[in-house]
Amino acid sequence: MHGDTREVRRGEGLDWPALAAYLRWHLADGDIPGLRLDAEMEVSQFPGGHSNLTYLVRFGGAELVVRRPPLGPVPPRAHDMAREFRWLSALHPVFPLVPRPYLLCEDLSVLGCVFYVMERRRGIVVRGEEPLPLAGHPDVRRRLSEAVVDTLAELHRVDVTTAPLADLGKPIGFLDRQVRGWRERWERSKLDEVAAMDSMALWLAAHQPPDALDPAVVHGDFKIDNVLLDPLQPARLVAVFDWEMAALGDPLIDLGILLAYWTPLDGAGEPDALTGVTGREGYLNREQLIDRYAAVSGRDLSDIAYFEAFALFKIAVVIQQIYYRFRRGQTDDPRFAGLGERVVALAARAEQLANQK
């Protein structure tokens, strides 16, 4: 395996000969540094995430990343690989932290699904545990926190008034579509009654702020484990991943997501599994994170509690959709068995925020 990848999980293999043939047909030696299409194709899998499947493909000295939707039925308009590819293509030239996309395959006869191929970037990811360059270094943790916030503000400064970005979304009505869409997804994926989720769905609709006057690129899932860090300078970002939910709209959606995954409201140890490493010494606390974004972006954050509550609701729905697939037998991945409890915990956190507003 190659550092941050593992053997392909049971049941998540693809038609490797068909993929190899497709890549050999659509690429040429020299297109990518080190690419040797006469070499045997090697495959491993990136183990993180619970949704889309991401693989590392090696041909000679070249590494390619292949990304496809999850196995089994998926919610309507979710896991749209063609859409994500178009966003990567539009963003890479103006926001270089976006990996370069290479190929989009919409021919279902190849792998039975739409998939795309992009460049591999190397670095370290902060997930359940800190990598060694961060562990025990409060000064580096603080610089990383600042770099994450500054990168988010930089993304939100990208000009969205001209093509091709201007053609990829409709900022007017964005928040209304988000709230309505995630409420509908909750209803479609609900298996058990969760009173807090139902009440939050009503609260979000009733307290919705107006459209942003200065819309921006919205990543949609901006969090510390969706950025890649330079191993030699871990406070420096080398990539931002997972652009599946990218849109044009209110950038506070992203800040809400970042806060939802940051240090929780009342300390570590909550059962929703969103608590990561950011409660440790050196990381910005929630107030410092908000203050830094406000200072760097110049945006009004008076409604930030609403956006964090929405983020918690949205994350709960995403988890519920995965849990629904598990309960309906569409996947047997054992990681998904306890996701129902996370939904309940997230809904309680969202209600806590709503009650404070």
Token readout for 236 is 């420096």
Ranges under pLDDT 70 in the chain:
1-3, 48-50, 72-78, 264-275, 331-332, 357
What is the model's pLDDT at position 24? 96
What is the model's pLDDT at position 137? 94
What is the model's pLDDT at position 274? 58
Q: 138-356: same fold as 16-119?
A: no
| Top-tier CATH class for 16-119 | alpha beta
Quick one: which of 137, 350, 88 has its CA closest to 242? 88
Q: What is the dihedral of CA 298, 299, 302, 304, to 10 degrees?
A: -120
Question: If DSSP states are collapsed to H, E and C, what string results for 3-63?
Answer: CCCECCCCCCCCCHHHHHHHHHHHCCCCCCCCECCCCCCEEEECCCCCCCEEEEEEEECEE
Q: What distance in Å separates the CA atoms of residue 66 and residue 5, rounded to the nearest whole number?
A: 13
What is the model's pLDDT at position 270? 46
What is the model's pLDDT at position 248? 97
Q: What distance in Å separates the CA atoms of residue 357 and residue 355, rounded to the nearest whole number?
A: 6
What is the model's pLDDT at position 272? 44
Q: What is the pLDDT of residues 305-332, one digit of tens each?
A: 999 999 999 999 999 988 888 777 776 6
Q: Is 109 exposed, middle or buried (0-12, 13-18, 19+ CB in 10 A)?
A: exposed
Q: What is the dihedral of CA 40, 41, 47, 48, to 10 degrees?
A: 140
Q: Where are the domains of the chain?
A: 16-119, 138-356
What is the model's pLDDT at position 341? 86
Q: What distance in Å separates the CA atoms of residue 185 and residue 317, rounded to the nearest whole number?
A: 7
What is the model's pLDDT at position 279? 87
Would you identify the CATH topology of the domain 138-356? Aminoglycoside 3'-phosphotransferase; Chain: A, domain 2 (3.90.1200)
Contact criterion met (CB below 8 Å) for 6 and 45: yes
What is the model's pLDDT at position 74? 62
What is the model's pLDDT at position 168? 94
**Cα–Cα separations (whole angstroms), residue 40 to 1, 17, 105, 147, 295:** 15, 10, 21, 39, 51
